Structure 1
């Protein structure tokens, strides 16, 4: 799977490879999630996050180029599993309201994974004195947190309530 890692910089490269693959997988999954969403705000939020995710791929490419790192690595199994779980939830026979709640739960699982991973690579970059990379990765971390909060607010404000008592 991985060759021997001898430095924090080597570990950073492996983590960036995983994030790169994860974000590319997500660019394929988000349109499917948006297509399944029935709530207009949820659908729009997923479409906006797709554009953001496409930008994250570009940012990762910029960081890797600036650090002379290779982003070609193994597939991110964690993201693959999270996406598969989301697809299973969306495939269940459910009311529109329950499906929207399921989409939010799947999307938040993805966001929490990404927040953890970006938090790690930001820390590594800072520790290695790679301020520019830390800033770029930190911007993505902030945006991932904002997406999670948006999803949380959609769930709290009305989607979960509709799923409890579908009309």
Structure 2
């Protein structure tokens, strides 16, 4: 039973790695379409974080004698494929959906690590989730600020 749970958890880690890699690849293109420099800077900063999280996942998988392999996160693939250049508010909403996927999958990976006794991995995953939660709050704040500016411009 434990072996099967470990296999499922490893698959979760590989899927999460794919999510991070896909997001890191998509963010520069998204940043190029941003109207505001603060949005562009945020997206490029988030790319650095996504790449760091992918590296962290590679480390965890390596300690398990695993590699990310050919696993593809279909949900992130759809999100990236469906994204169309639009205004900054829609851009932030799209990125926020990606961040929510990260948070959700990190939470599941943390639970798996704890159940299976991989305490060091759980600690690393918790740190990544805290960073993503901070990013989510920052995205929300940036969106509210931009939306307020957009509303004022529309009223003028």
For normalisation by structure 2, the TM-score amounts to 0.91
Q: List gaps (5 residues or longer) in structure 2.
A: none
Superposed CA RMSD = 1.7
Q: List gaps (5 residues or longer) in structure 1.
A: 93-98
Deviation at 1:34, TM superposition (A): 1.1
Deviations 1:60-108 (A, max 9, x none): 110001122232133111001111222x2x1x5xxxxxx1001110000
Deviation at 1:162, TM superposition (A): 3.0
Q: Does 1:118 align with 2:106?
A: yes
For normalisation by structure 1, the TM-score amounts to 0.85
Deviation at 1:6, TM superposition (A): 5.9
Q: Distance in 2 between matches of 1:74 and 1:166?
A: 45
2:94 maps to 106
Q: Does 1:161 align with 2:141?
A: no
Work out the number of aligned pairs and report it: 153
2:134 maps to 146
Deviation at 1:28, TM superposition (A): 1.0
Q: Distance in 2 between matches of 1:6 and 1:164?
A: 55
Q: Does 1:9 align with 2:44?
A: no
Q: Distance in 1 between matches of 2:7 and 2:70?
A: 12
Q: Does 1:37 align with 2:24?
A: no
Match of 2:55 among 53, 58, 67: 58
Instruction: Go from structure 1 to structure 2 and tell me whether the alpha carbon gap of 1:128 and 1:6 turns closer, same or farther (over 3 Å shift).
Output: closer
Q: Distance in 2 between matches of 1:13 and 1:138?
A: 16
Q: Distance in 2 between matches of 1:135 and 1:64?
A: 14
Q: Distance in 2 between matches of 1:123 and 1:146?
A: 20
Q: Does 1:27 align with 2:24?
A: yes
SS in 2 for 1:7: helix
CA contact (8 A) 2:6 2:116 kept: yes
